[in-house]
Amino acid sequence: MARKSHVQTTINDETVEFLCEPRQSLLEVLRDELHLTGAKEGCNNGNCGACSVILDGRLVNSCLVLGVETDGKSMETIEGLADPDKLHPIQDAFLENAALQCGICTPGFIMSAKALLDNNPNPTEHEVRYWLAGNLCRCTGYDKIVRAVLDAAEAT
Amino acid sequence: MQSFEYIDAKTVSEAVALLDEKGDQARLLAGGTDLIVQAREGRRSLDWMIDIKSIPEVNELAYDSETGLTLGAAVPCYQIYAVEAICEAYPGLVDATKIIGGTAIQGRAAVGGNLCNASPAADCIPPLIVLNATCVIAGPNGEREIPVEDFCTGPGQTVLAKGEMLVSLKLPAPQQNSSSFYLRFIPRNEMDIAVVGAGASVVLDDAKQRIVSARIALGAVAPTPLFAEDAGALLTDKEISDDVIDEAAQAAQAIARPISDMRGTAEQRTHLVGVLTRRALNGAIQRVREAA
Amino acid sequence: MSEKKEYKVIGTRPIRHDGVDKVTGRAIYGADFQITGLLHGRVLRSPHAHARIVSIDTSHAEAYPGVKGVVTAQDLPAAEDKMADLGEGAVNLKYLCDNILASDKVLYKGHAIAAVAATSPHIAEEACELIDVEYELLPPVLEVREAMEPDAPILHENLTTSSLGDEDDKPTNIASHLQHKKGDIEKGFDEADVVIERGFVTGTVHQGYIEPHNATAHYNQDGQLTVWCSTQGAFTVREQLAEILQYPVSKIKVVPLEIGGGFGGKINVYIKPVAALLAKKTGKPVKVLMNRADVFEGTGPTPASYITIKMGAKKDGKITAAQTSLAFEAGAYPGSPVGAGAMCVFAPYNIENVLIDGYDVVVNKPKSAPYRAPGATNAAFGTETVVDELAEELNIDPLELRLMNGAKEGDRRPDGPVYPRIGFIETLEAAKEHPHYTSANGKKYHGRGIASGFWFNIGLESSVTINVNPDGTINLVEGSTDIGGTRASIAMQAAEVLGIPAESVNPTVVDTNSIGYTAVTGGSRTTYATGYAAYEAAQDVVKQMKARAAKLWEVDEDNVQFADGEFSSINGKEEQMSFRDLSGKLSQTGGPVVGRATMDPAGAGGAFATHVVDVEVDVETGKVEILRYTATQDAGKAIHPSYVEGQIQGGVVQGIGWALNEEYIYNAEGEMTNASFLDYRMPTCLDLPMIDAVIVEVPNPGHPYGVRGVGEVPIVPPPAAIANAIYDAIGIRMTELPMSPDRLLKAMGKI
């Protein structure tokens, strides 16, 4: 087994240090080492988006990033999105639109939507659907998710 | 997933030396969207993963309307389509970068990685071929350049010799009245691997009625992406018509030698080569005409 | 429609109670569970579709550094061919156990053989590769018609056909044959002016929930087994564990964590007993997770099927006869949903003469599991396509033909039950009046299709307790795991009774030690049956609090009434007190109030749906684009309309996936070649338009608020509706699912 590496990174504006094996993905590190379990494993090969996080400002699948690659980088996860006393507008929009059923895909969708709105504050329905195509939801049929993201764009 | 060592290489020469020393058991890591999955699923055995993203040359993204584009091997898709001038000059390549995986994949996946992974269905390779891209390869004996159509030698196989790495791709500046187009057929609208892919580039006359020259390339219909050179050549100096486009499409179909697998049947793929070649050519022609 | 009742809470759209946890990433799903000293388990699975296990050598794996224990079928208690009662019907215990860890044969690629517990998931995975299994390969059989052939490879040497109560003694793959008869089928076809007969094939599809199966188990030194997991039913997990491990239910506690989708696929247990065996062997808590390929290859898909449908009608549109043969793939062990398919196949229509035959057939695929209205979608694909064709032959609008023959209150379903008040006709009328149906549809290669569907819904056991808090709120304790917002829909029913806002209810889903028996979240039963229990528990609270008011006011209990959240006295003293104020006086009047109810309600009330879809066919590529989709459905009474719409939209989209691209693709060796989200091709949001969900409310007489289950029926009509739309677009009847681009190209003669 390869020796563990020491990694120092920034997660949700906090400096975080951890040890990991090179083969551990960022998703494994977040969940198993740091107990940030908001990012989910749905497929572990980049096809469902449940593990989406924002790494140096860019949406990525954390299952396709090695933990060791994040040394010196900065990331945002679902756990850092809300303020202590209020939700992020995208989170509010998901609740108001009933845009979740089982909720397992929800953190990934919200992070993906955040990356979209950071990039394009006024997307069309088609742009929302294109951007979110990498996030699978099996419960909702996407209707209310798309509406929630469009509503959040209006609200921000 | 098997255990491996991770090395963050800082220079081309360091990466080349490591590759030369470790041989087959070392792989270069750029976006990792193919490599990490292959290692995890046991489809590729490796002892060393050499991260090249700290190497300046592989991150270069420079476009000049005179000299063309230098595209570092590790530049992720999203950086390419973020540059307006690149979108205008190489729309066929940009088509591919926008349909690889989902948005999150495009945040990591690199055109150079797509090429080195050498999948027959790689979306970036047909447009690179029709855009006359050249591969800049560094190795223990210095640099060499080869045309992109000669890079892949089989599924997952390339011309890279022991110790060699792809540093960048060079695309010539677009000619007057030219454009390019890439499309693929997939059963869904996103997130699939091409059942067939087709890229085309055309140079038209000033009146935009005649084809001066054309290049066509195909994906997922042979062990490597195919440069349909003869099919493109059929269009040289031809008046644009449905008939000449059909003729080129049929010539493209004639060289396709697809297999049947879970993504499509051989008959379906051969049929689609005709459909997609027509659509790619018409798409490229339309782009020239719309450019005003 | 009956008179509309006025409600304060029901029919509104409050924020769901578990919402904040789920949008902030704080909700703990099965795989998120952490506990000190945790080991990680991994299951070794068969690479072959059909083989005899000659030997298993685990010694190399056991010796691998970091490995703490290895288990095989040898670690399970010896299972005989006895029947285990699992509440929802008897199951052969040997089959049940063999599907957990194969003992003598592997019957599908992905069949679990052994498992390793180690200090990291990677080590467990590496150690699995060190287990040596010697196989004697056998030819697989992968398709239901081939499996029914007399010379087909046999999966179970001791399996014989149970046919209409009789047992044949010849080994076979046909586990059972069932039949329903109504009227005189010959006479019915003789009366018909038009008779259509078609054969239909449907592919093997998966529920496709995003969360893989998971389980963490721990044995205490006193023998107490605790299992933390995501499941559709904690109590059914407890029952299955008790049978498989031959362990008393009193020693098993199942703690349901949040569940990331199920759709029927998280009722059967797979790795939960394996986690328990590993925990027992190692003395440590062990977490076992599946990866996505494990989920596709090792857990229940819904069966492929071959269905023939023959229907006859008179010129005036009266359907006189309907006959079907339904052959369903059970997967490796008996138990396909062919029975449910047979109940639903002609259910939307009042037909005098019907003959239904159903066959449950084993093949070398994973054991099938329920999937949203199990069996009904397969059946409706056949029926609704033939009804469309009848309409065309008779030159009657397909919606009108359905209106002419649609089942109503008092009609008898072919398998026996007589309908109470149902809302099928109302769904048809809602579709007929919808702007979608009345809009123009005439563009080249565009087509419109309609189809209807039925699901019977179930009741089963539910328990609820309500603890009244001194501030006038309540804590509602329930045993139904919440997959799609049922905390809210159950809480709202209690709130309505008590006259308090939905927000004044704190609903909690608890473990099997903390609530009365509650059946699975499935069968569209939860808002109906657990909601009914919440209603009754709230009534119990009202009853007890009336007594407290009587005590306070020194009046007779019978003289206290409760309405709109206010207690008041009648016949004498003018006293009034709100639910909230009285809640604050419980400690002075005798202590806490706990309401309770446990139910097994019989009046689930069937659900009907009618869908309208517009498609565009790319005739050069065979690809079908969904342009517009409208689904009308009788919800009885929508408690939380947003989540009813969500159920409809989600079901529709699963149906669209089933219709167009989803299927298990096998090679000749019986290996699934597309066991990933990349190649299984579930719809993404870019593949869809908005889905217009139209709620029709024909109250169910079997529920105090008129609730009907809504979760399942929306998946039933889409494949047929889309097939009918494709016919409208290009004039070709597709009779095989999925209607994927290559199949369309073939049907059009392009390849």
Could you report the per-residue pLDDT of B175-193, keeping only the tens digit for each?
Answer: 999 999 999 999 999 999 9
Last residue of a domain, one of A33, A48, A80: A80
Split into its structural domains, chain B has a count of 3
Q: Could you tell me the two tokens for B233?
A: 């050549």
Same domain flag for A69 and A99: no
* Chains touching chain A, criterion 3+ CB pairs below 8 Å: B, C
Instruction: Give how far C540 is from chain B: nearest CA, Å.
Output: 52
Q: Is residue A76 domain-shared with residue A138, that is, in the same domain?
A: no
- The answer to whether position C151 is within a domain reads no
B133 and B199 part of one domain: no
Q: What CATH code is carried by the domain that includes residue A47? A: 3.10.20.30
Q: Closest residue of C to A41, CA-based?
A: C211
For C484-507, give the secondary structure using H, E and C: CCHHHHHHHHHHHHHCCCHHHEEE
- Give burial (CB, 10 Å; 0-12/13-18/19+) of C73: buried
Q: At how many degrees (to 10) do helices C234-245 and C93-100 cross?
A: 100
State mean pLDDT over A121-127.
98
If you compute the radius of gyration of chain B from its CA atoms, what whole number of angstroms results? 19
Query: How many A×C Cβ pairs under 8 Å?
Result: 181
C689 touches chain B (CB under 8 A): no
C243 and C308 part of one domain: no
**Nearest-neighbour CA in chain A from C640: distance (Å):** 10
In sequence order, what are the residues at sequence separation of 6 or more whose Cβ sits closer than 8 angstroms to the Cβ of residue C749? Answer: none
Residue A7 pLDDT level (bands cut at 50, 70, 90): very high
Among A41, A88, A102, A110, pick the best mutation site for testing chain C contact (most C Cβ within 10 A): A102
CB within 8 Å: C686 and B272:
no
Q: Does A64 touch chain B (CB under 8 A)?
A: yes
Tell me the CATH number at C515: 3.30.365.10
**Does the residue B14 lie in any domain?**
yes
Q: Is C27's CB within 8 Å of A103's CB? A: yes
Cα separation, C742 vs B24, whole angstroms: 39
Interacting residues of C118 by C-beta distance below 8 A, sequence separation 6+: C39, C40, C41, C42, C64, C66, C67, C68, C124, C127
Residues of C in contact with A95 (CB under 8 A): 15-16, 19-20, 23
Q: How far is A42 from chain C (nearest CA, A)?
A: 5
Domain containing residue B107: 59-171
- Of the candidates A31, A46, A80, which is a domain's last residue? A80
Contact criterion met (CB < 8 Å) for A23 and B32: no
Phi, psi (deg, nearest 5) at residue A36: -95, 90
- Positions in chain C whose pLDDT score sits under 70: 1-4, 81, 85-90
Q: What does the longest C-alpha to C-alpha distance in chain C come to?
A: 87
C477 and C574 inside one domain: yes
Structure tokens at C591: 């202590």
Give the DSSP per-residue string, B256-291.
-----BTTB-HHHHHHHHHHHHHHHHHHHHHHHHHT
Closest chain B residue to C688 measured between Cα atoms? B189
Evaluate whether C324 touches C310 at the Cβ level (below 8 Å): yes
What's the domain range around C278? 33-138+212-260+266-291
C307 lies in the same domain as C453: yes
Chain C residue numbers with beta carbons less than 8 Å from the beta carbon of A2 are: none
Span B33-88, pLDDT tens digits: 999 999 999 998 999 999 999 999 999 999 999 999 999 999 999 999 999 999 99
Cβ pair C673:B261 closer than 8 A: yes
Nearest residue, CB atoms, B268 vs list C122, C665, C745: C745
| Number of domains observed in the structure of chain A | 2
Q: Which among C100, C102, C78, C81 has a CA at the least distance from the CA of C91? A: C81
* Residues β-bridged to residue C258: C29
Say if residue C401 is in the same domain as residue C495: no
* A 89-148 near B (Cβ less than 8 A): 112, 115-116, 130-135
C392 in the same domain as C338: yes
Tens digits of residue pLDDT in B245-271:
999 999 999 999 999 999 999 999 999
Question: Is B268 within 8 Å of C122 when comparing Cβ atoms?
Answer: no
Label the pairing between strands B210-219 and C319-331: unpaired
Chosen for mutation from C15, C20, C24 (greatest number of chain A CBs closer than 10 Å) is: C24
Q: What is the pLDDT of residue C573?
A: 75
Angstroms from B107 CA to nearest CA on chain A? 6
Place of tokens 């007929």: C432
For chain C, list the contacting chains (3+ Cβ pairs, <8 Å). Answer: A, B
Looking at the structure, tell me whether residues B275 and B210 fall in a common domain.
Answer: yes
- Residues C658, C166: Cα–Cα separation, whole Å: 35
Domain holding B206: CATH number? 3.30.390.50
Report the C-alpha gap between C124 and C67 in whole angstroms. Answer: 7
pLDDT at C574: 86
If you measure CA to CA, which chain B residue comes closest to C619? Answer: B275
Do residues B73 and B96 both lie within one domain?
Answer: yes
> C450 and C481: one domain?
no
Q: Can you tell me the distance from the alpha carbon of C371 to that of C628, in angstroms, rounded to the nearest whole number?
A: 25
Whether residue A75 is found in the same domain as residue A35 = yes
Q: What is the pLDDT of residue C87?
A: 54
Dig out the tokens for C480 from the structure. Answer: 């139904």
Please give the backbone phi and psi of residue C43, each rounded to the nearest 5 degrees, phi first.
Answer: -100, 135
Same domain, A75 and A93: no
Residue ending a domain, among A80, A111, A142, is A80
Q: What is the pLDDT of residue C1?
A: 38
- Shortest distance, CA A77 to any CA of chain C (angstroms): 9
Position C2 scores a pLDDT of 43
Task: Check: CB of residue C144 under 8 Å from CB of residue C327.
Answer: yes
User: For A58-81, what is the mean pLDDT?
Assistant: 98
Tokens of C427: 């769904």
- B74 and B46 belong to one structural domain: no
> How many structural domains compose chain C?
3
**Among residues C438, C450, C617, C462, which one has the least CA distance to residue C533?**
C462
Q: Are C728 and C615 in a shared domain? A: yes
- Domain range for A112: 89-155
CB pair distance less than 8 Å for A58 and B41: no
Q: Are residues C87 and C221 in the same domain?
A: yes
> Inter-chain contact A104–C261, Cβ cutoff 8 Å?
yes
Same domain, C42 and C130: yes
- Across the interface, of B187, B193, B261, the residue whose CB is closest to C623 is B187
Check whether residue B233 and residue B255 sit in a common domain: yes
Q: Are residues A95 and A76 in the same domain?
A: no
**pLDDT at residue C90, as a whole number:** 67
